[in-house]
Amino acid sequence: MKLKKLGNAVLPAMLAAGLLAGCGNSGNGGNNAAAPDASASANTKESAAPSPVEITWGIHFQAPGVVENSQVQKWLEEKFNVKIKPVKVTDASIASGEVPDIFMLGDPANVAAYQNQGVLMSLDPNMLKEKMPEYSKDIEKNKALFQTVTIDDKLWAIPMFIDLKPYDLGMLWRKDWLDKVGITKAPETLDEFEKAVYAFAQKDPDGNGKKDTFGLTGTATSTWSSGFYSIFGAYGVEPTMWHEKNGEIMNGSVMPETKEALAKLRQWYADGVIDPEFITDTQDSYRKKLYNNRIGVIEEQIAKGALPDAATVTEMKSLNPNSELVFAKNPKGPGGDGSWDWGVKSNFVVISNKVKDQPEKLDKLFEILKAESSDEETINMTNLGVKGTHWDFTESGATAGATKFLAGFEKAEERDQAGIRLFSLGNITTQAYREKYSNPALNEAIKTYSSAPRQTDALLFSALPSDGKYKNDLTSLMQKYFAQIISGEIPLEDFDKFVAEWKSRGGDELTKEANEMYQAQFKK
Amino acid sequence: MKTIRKHGELLALFLFAFAFFIVFKYGPLYGVVIAFKDFKVVDGIWGSPWVGFQHFQDLFQSSDFYRLLKNTLLLNFYQLLFAFPAPIILAILLNEVRSRYFQRFIQTTMYLPHFVSWVIMSGLIIYFLSPTTGIMADIMGWFGKEPIFFMGKKEYFRSIVVGSSILKDLGWGSIIYFAALSGINPEIQESAIIDGANRWQRIIRINVPSIMPTISIMFILSLGGFLSANFEQIINLLNPVTFETGDVIDTYVYRVGLQQFQYSYTAAIGLFKSLVGLVLILGANLTVRKLSKGENGLW
C-alpha cells in the first residue's frame, strides 16, 4: 500500500515542490513585512532580544503540503523568538541535499537510510537527559527504543513511544450477517471464525438469493507484509516480522507455523470463502466491500471500528442504514491470538547534520523539543490549535478527557490551513499529558480488543545492516509465493521451495544479522 | 549577421525550445556521473568517491537483471507491435465514414480517456476485469465461460498493459493521422473513382502511401520513448503475482533507487537503459532510410 501511494504521490509531490519553491520567494517577501511585527512584540518582553534564529522545519509527514505563515507558525515564532521556514520532506528533496534542520521519520529503517546518506546529526544521550528531563523520565521504561536508532555506537534520532495504540487491529464483523446465519456471539476462536466466514460465503447472508458474498478478503499488496494478519497471528507468526523462539531469532515468512496458516487460507480460498480479489485489494477497498455487502468481516483499527462514533462504523451506517457492526478480538488459534503489532515504537525526531556547527540553533531546537514534550500550551497549540476556535473537550465544560475538533476544522486538511499538525512532533509528549487528553472509552476499547503486546518484532523494527540490499526483494518474493499458494496456483509443498529461495536470496544473511543484533542489543 | 536580422522572429521562437532543452535535458546530464560514483547526499555529486564500473558489474551479475531486461523489451515490443498501428487503422477507418456528425462524435469520445490519469485509469481497469463485479466477467458469462481473474494471473499482464494503452491513447494518437489524411488532394481520389478503383483499392493505393512519411516519423519518435514510456501505467497495475512478467527497469529503479537511496546503482541502470534506447533509435532510423531509399527518416 505504501509503495503504491508513494508512486501516486511522487509526481504531484515533485510538481508541488516546484510550485512551492516558486511561491517560497514571494512568501518570504510577505514574511519580511510581517516580521517587524513579531520582533517588535518580542522586543517588548526582552529589551535586547537577539535576532531570531532561522529554522527550516520539515512538516509532519502526514501533512500533504506546506502552508506558509500559518497561525501556529506565527505563534511558535513569537514564543521562541525564531523564524520558521516550513518545508515538505520527500526522498527526492533529501536526495537533492535540502535537509531541514528538524523533521520526523516513521521507522528505524528510514533513520538508518538517512544516516547512511550522512544527513543526520548524532545526538548525545546525556544531552537529551539534561535538556528534556520529562521526556527522558517517561521513555526510561522503553529505553530499548534507543537501540533501534543506534548505529555505530551513536544515537541518531530521538525515539518516541506509545503504549496504547489506537491503530492496533481487531476484527470488525457484520452483526446482522452473523444473526442471519444463526451465530449469536462474535467469533472468538479460529474454529468459530471459520464457521462464520463459511456461513457468510454459503448461506446468502444478504438475502438476495445470489451467491455473491465472501467471508473475507486480504491485502496482498501492502508493502510490509502479507495481509491476513489475524489468521497468521492465530498461528503465532507474522510474515516478515522477526520472532524470538527459545533465544533464537527467526523470520515469520519462513517459519513452519506460516505453512500451517497458508494451508488454512488455501482451503478457505478453494471453498470460495476468500474473495479472489485479495491480491489487488487494499485497506480502502476492503472497507468498501464491507459497506457493499460483499464480505462480512475485516481487520480494522480499534479507533476506527470499536466505538459507536468511530469512522468506519459511522460510514457503514450512512451507506447501509440497516446494517449492524460488532467489534471483536482477533481469533484465538493454535498459536494464541495476534495481529500485526507495531509495538511500542512511534515516530522519530531527527536533526540535520548541518546543525552540528550551530550551537545557538541547537539550543533553540531543544528548547522547542522540550516544550513540545512537556509544555501543555505548546503541545495543545501544535496538535489541537486554539481551544474554543479549533477544538474543545467532548464534554462541555470539562478540563480533561476526550477532545473534538470544532466545525470547520474537523478534517486534518482544514486544520493544516491554520498550521495545526504541521509542527506537531507527535508522541514526544509526556505520559501525564496523554493521560489528561485521552478518551477513556477508547483506552478501554484498546485494552479490551488489542492483542498487543503478544506479537511484535523482536528487534522493535530496527534496520539490519543488509536490509537495504535484500528486504524489499524478499518481501515481494514472499507476497508472490503466498498469493499463489493461497489461490491454489501452486501446491502447498512449494512453500519449502520458497523457504530455500528466501534463504539463498539474502534471507540467511539477514537471519544471521538479526541474531547478532538481538544478542548484542535486545536480549533480556 | 544578416540572416540573424532576417529571421529574428523565428530565432526568438526557437530560443524557448533551446532553453527548455538546455535546462531540462542537457543540464541534468551532468548528474549521470553518479553512475560511476558512490553517491552520498552530503558529499554531493562531485564530492562522492569514484567507483568505476562497479555498479554496472553488480547490475549484470544480479539475478533480477535479465528478468527486468526481458520484461522491458518484450512489453515495449508488444506495445510497438499492437499499440502503434492502432491509431493509424482507426484514422483510416473513420476517414471512410460518410456522416460528418458520426465521425466527429466518435473522435471526441475517443479522445476522452487520454485526459484521465493512469492512477484512475488503472483503478477502472482493475474494476472492469474483476471476476465478480467486472464487466468482463459479465461478457464472458454471456458466452457461458467461467470468469477469469485477469489481474491475478501473470500470463495476462502484458496483454492488459498493451490493451489499456490502446484504450487510453487510441483516439489521441489518431489526430495526427486524421490531419495527414485530410491533406490528401481530393482530385487524386476523384480520378481514382473515375478509373473504377473501389474503396479498398483507394485505401491501399492512395491513403496509406500518402500518410507513409507521417507514419515513419511517428514510428521513429515513438522509438525515442521506447523503454521508458509507461512507468506510471505499470506501477499502478503491478501486484506481487504479476511481478515476474510485469516488473520493468523503471519500476525497479523507482523501488530500489528512490525508496532505498541507492541512487548510484539505479543511475547505472538508467544509463544502461538509455544506451539500449539509443541503439534502437539509430537502428530504426537506418532501416527507415534504407526502406524509403533515403527519402524519409529523421536525419
Domain B65-291 has CATH 1.10.3720.10: yes
pLDDT at res. A333: 94
Does A468 contact B241 at a Cβ distance shorter than 8 Å? Answer: no
A473-494: average pLDDT: 91
Question: Are A111 and A227 within one domain?
Answer: no
Q: How far is A268 from chain B (nearest CA, A)?
A: 17
Tell me whether residues A276 and B131 touch, CB distance under 8 A.
yes
Cβ contact A94–B254 (<8 Å) = no
Read off the pLDDT of residues B190-244 as tens digits, 9 standing for 90 and up: 898 898 888 888 888 888 888 988 888 888 778 777 777 688 899 888 887 888 8
* pLDDT higher than threshold 50 for residue A403: yes
A429 inside domain: no
For chain B, the three-class secondary structure string (H helix, E strand, C coil) is CHHHHHCHHHHHHHHHHHHHHHHHHHHHHHHHHHHHECCCCCCHHHHCCECCCHHHHHHHHCHHHHHHHHHHHHHHHHHHHHHCHHHHHHHHHHHCCCCHHHHHHHHHHHHHHHHCCHHHHHHHHHHHCCCCCCHHHHHHHHCCCCCCCHHHCHHHHHHHHHHHHHHHHHHHHHHHHHHHHHCCCHHHHHHHHHCCCCHHHHHHHHHHHHHHHHHHHHHHHHHHCCCCCCHHHHHHHCCHHHHHHHCCHHHHHHHHHHHHCCHHHHHHHHHHHHHHHHHHHHHHHHHHHHHCCCCCCCC
* pLDDT at A31 (0 to 100): 37
| Residue A122 contacts B, CB cutoff 8 Å | no
Each domain of chain B, given as residue ranges in start order, spans: 65-291
Band (pLDDT 50/70/90 cuts) for residue A45 is very low
The percent of residues above 70 in pLDDT, for chain A, comes to 90
Asked if residue A24 has pLDDT above 80, the reply is: no
Residue A117's SS3 state is coil
Number of domains in chain A: 2
pLDDT at A15 over 70: no
- Chain B's closest residue to A289, CA to CA, is B133
Contacts of A479 in chain B (CB under 8 A): 240-241
Predicted confidence at residue A49, as pLDDT, reads: 58
Average pLDDT for B258-271:
81
Same domain as A183, residue A149: no
Q: Which of B40, B149, B243 sits opposite A476 (nearest CB)?
A: B243
Say whether A353 and B42 touch across the interface (CB within 8 A).
yes
Can you give the pLDDT at residue A22?
37
B239 with A221: Cβ contact below 8 A: yes
What is the DSSP track for A391-437?
Answer: EEESSTT-SSS-EEEPTT--SHHHHHHHTTTTT--GGGS-HHHHHHH
Q: Span B111-119, mean pLDDT?
A: 90
Q: What is the mean pLDDT of residues A355-381?
A: 92
User: Does A120 contact chain B (CB < 8 Å)?
Assistant: no
For residue B257, the distance in angstroms to the closest alpha carbon of chain A comes to 10
Confidence class for position B27, pLDDT limits 50, 70, 90? confident
| pLDDT reading at B252 higher than 90 | no
Mutate to test the interface with B, among A277, A292, A471, A478 (most CBs of B within 10 A): A277
CB pair distance less than 8 Å for A119 and B41: yes
Average pLDDT over residues A211-238: 89
Residues A197 and A238 in one domain: yes
- CB nearest to B149's CB, from A4, A276, A484: A276
pLDDT digits (tens, 9 = 90+) for A408-462: 888 888 899 999 989 999 899 998 898 899 888 999 999 999 988 888 899 999 9
A92 vs B40, B258, B260: nearest CB = B258
Which one of B44, B131, B258 has the shortest CB-CB distance to A91?
B258
Residue A390: inside a domain: no
Q: List the single range of A367-371, A504-508, B257-261 with lowest mean pLDDT.
A: B257-261
Indicate whether A224 and A142 sit together in one domain. no
Residue A11 with chain B: CB contacts under 8 Å: 232
A472 vs B41, B149, B260: nearest CB: B260
User: Is there a single domain that holds both residue A213 and residue A71?
Assistant: no
The pLDDT assigned to B155 comes to 87
Task: Kindly determine whether residue A468 and residue B44, on different chains, have CB atoms separated by under 8 Å.
Answer: no
pLDDT at residue A41 is higher than 70: no
Identify the CATH number of the domain in which residue A313 sits: 3.40.190.10
| Yes or no, beta carbons of B41 and A95 under 8 Å apart | yes
- Residue A70 located in a structural domain: yes
Cβ-based contacts of B43 with chain A (< 8 Å): 118
Mean pLDDT, chain A, integer = 86
Predicted confidence (pLDDT) per residue in A241-289, tens digit = 999 988 899 999 999 999 999 999 999 999 999 998 898 888 778 898 9
pLDDT top residue among A44 and A487? A487
CA separation for the pair B27, B43 (Å, rounded): 20
What pLDDT does B299 receive? 67
Q: pLDDT band for position A154 (50/70/90)?
A: very high
CA neighbours within 13 Å on the CB side: how many for A59? 22
Whole-number pLDDT of residue A46: 44
| Per-residue pLDDT band at A28 (split at 50, 70, 90) | very low
- The minimum CA-CA distance between A87 and chain B, rounded to whole Å, is 18
Residue of B30, B41, B255 best to disrupt the A interface, most CBs of A under 10 A: B41
C-alpha cell at A41: 512584540
- For residue A244, the surrounding DSSP H or E stretch is strand A242-245
Q: Please, which pLDDT band fits residue A25 given cuts at 50, 70 and 90?
A: very low
Is A233 contained in some domain? yes
pLDDT at A426: 87
What average pLDDT score do residues A386-410 get? Answer: 88
By CA distance, what is A354's nearest residue in B? B42
The vertex-B141 CA angle with B135 and B143, nearest 5°, equals 120
Residues A292, A143, single domain; the answer is no
**Exposure on the CB side of residue A335, measured as CA atoms within 13 A:** 24
Measured between CA atoms, how close is B38 to chain A, in angstroms?
A: 11
B235, A473: Cβ pair inside 8 Å? Answer: no
pTM for this prediction: 0.79
Give me the phi and psi of A53, to 5 degrees please.
-75, 140
Write A28-32 long-range contacts (CB < 8 A, 24+).
A30/A68, A30/A69, A31/A68, A31/A69, A31/A83
Residues A77 and A206 in one domain: no
Q: What does the pLDDT read at residue A6?
A: 40
User: Is A240 in the same domain as A132?
Assistant: no
Residues A158 and A189 in one domain: no
Q: Which residues in B lie closer than 8 A to residue A476 (C-beta atoms)?
A: 240, 243
Asked if the model's pLDDT at residue A11 lies above 50, the reply is: no
pLDDT band, residue A43 (cuts 50/70/90)? very low
Cβ density class A384-412: b for 16+ within 10 Å, e for less? bbbeeebbbeeeeeeeeeebebeeebeee
Average pLDDT along chain B: 85
Percent of chain A with pLDDT over 90: 55
Closest approach of chain B CAs to the CA of A433, in angstroms? 35
| CA-to-CA separations, B120 to A290, B117, B161, in angstroms, rounded | 22, 6, 14
A48 in the same domain as A105: yes
State which of A332, A353, A373 marks the end of a domain: A373
Between A117, A212, A505, which is nearest B40 by CB?
A: A117
Average pLDDT of the segment spanning A193-200:
95
ipTM of the prediction greater than 0.85, yes or no: no
- Domain co-membership, A282 together with A361: no
Domain membership flag for residue A265: yes
* Structural domain contains residue A434: no
Tell whether A396 is covered by a domain: no
C-alpha closest to that of A385 among A360, A347, A359, A419: A419
Residue A442, H or E segment: helix A440-449
Residue of B nearest to A466 (CA): B260
- For residue B262, list chain A residues with Cβ-Cβ distance below 8 A: 468
Residue of B nearest to A504 (CA): B63
* pLDDT of A14: 39
Span A87-101, average pLDDT: 85
**Residue A182 within a domain:** yes
- Asked if A468 lies within 8 A of B240 by C-beta distance, the reply is no
Distance from C-alpha of B197 to C-alpha of B60, rounded to nearest angstrom: 57
A362 and A263: one domain? no
- Judge whether residue A230 has pLDDT over 90: yes
The mean per-residue pLDDT over the stretch A100-126 comes to 90
Residues of chain B with Cβ-Cβ distance to A480 below 8 Å are 240-241, 243-244
Q: Confidence class of residue B270 from pLDDT cuts 50, 70 and 90?
A: confident
Which residues form the domain of A69?
2-163+345-373
What pLDDT is stored for residue A398 in this prediction? 85
Nearest-by-Cβ selection for A472 from B132, B149, B255? B255
